[in-house]
Amino acid sequence: MDALPCQLAHDLALEPRKERWLVEGFWSERAVGIVGGEPKSCKSFLALDLAVAVASGTPFLRRFPVHGPGRVLLFCAEDSPHVVRARLEGIALAAGVDFAALEVFVITSPSLRLDLKDDRERLGTTVESLRPRLLVLDPFVRLHRVDENVAAEVAPLLEGLRSLERRFEVAIALVHHAKKGAGGARGGQALRGSSELHAWGDSNLYLRKKERGLFLGVEHRAAASPENELALELRQCGGALALHVVDQLPEVQDNASSPSERLLEVLAAARAPLSVRELRAACRLRTATVTEVLAALADNGAVLRTPGGYRLPSR
């Protein structure tokens, strides 16, 4: 039996720096990953915005550069073709893109199941034929009939997608639901089902609906992740809907509670330690305010700092 091929580490090929990002700061070149969030948190709009940006080479969310644009292949299991078209057309309008020239190919098959060999092979043949830069599958729950909570059942489906990425050098965005009421958990920990989903992703985008609006968190396996979440809103312009970045989000003034009281309330409701970024978003405070108050609370023993974040002493 032949041995497995091996190379010395310093002989492995270098990837050019310019190919590091597909979308700068948001999606790594050839990354597989999750676009996650609770129901009705605009996950599909975000995935379609990513598709329009890559297909057209225009900035993602109208401001984040795309490197090496190309075709996009899309499967939307929950939306009818006319809805998909309308959403894409609206995003193209917001981006100033000629919709008719947009190379976004939509799979019109009524179903696609990753747990069926024939469907996996047909998907592979389609990817091989079109050679897209990005494959968007929305949502994961409609792409199989396995138990999402069982790692042994989920892992083969994700490995099949990873195999597509390696064979055809295609980035893959898998839209997936977060657990309801998981706003206090980290993005990856809030995902529904097996932890295999979180572990699988190279680049992950997490949407959260909060009192002040919609927020986008970013997580990368091999690159620095932004400390702060990005505020977004779904805007209508001439009958078209598209997500836009909110530049200024005023700090909410709450005369009923002080910053320290708000921090303690959020920590009391959390099931796991929270980072400064998570506390900042949950309490609607500036980073400087959060770090200053946490330092004082820690000095007084009111909170504990752990490797995973901050928690109350009793938790």
19 or 280, higher pLDDT? 280
What is the reported pLDDT for 15?
Answer: 65
Which amino acid appears at position 297 of this protein?
A: L
Domains in the chain: boundaries: 20-245, 259-311
The answer to whether residues 309 and 274 touch, using CB atoms and an 8 Å cutoff, is yes
Distance CA 173, CA 210 (A): 24
Confidence of residue 182 (pLDDT cuts 50, 70, 90): low
Superfamily of chain region 20-245: P-loop containing nucleotide triphosphate hydrolases (3.40.50.300)
Which residue, among 27, 4, 128, 123, has the nearest Cα to 75 in the 3D structure? 123
Per-residue pLDDT at 49 exceeds 90: yes
Residue by residue, DSSP assigns 96-135 as T--GGG--EEE---S---TTSHHHHHHHHHHHHHH--SEE
Q: DSSP characters for 33-52?
A: EEEEESTTSSHHHHHHHHHH
Does residue 242 surpass a pLDDT of 90? Answer: yes
Tell me the per-residue pLDDT of 123-175, one tens digit each, with 9 for 90 and over: 999 999 999 999 999 999 999 999 999 999 999 999 999 999 999 999 999 99
CATH number of 259-311: 1.10.10.10
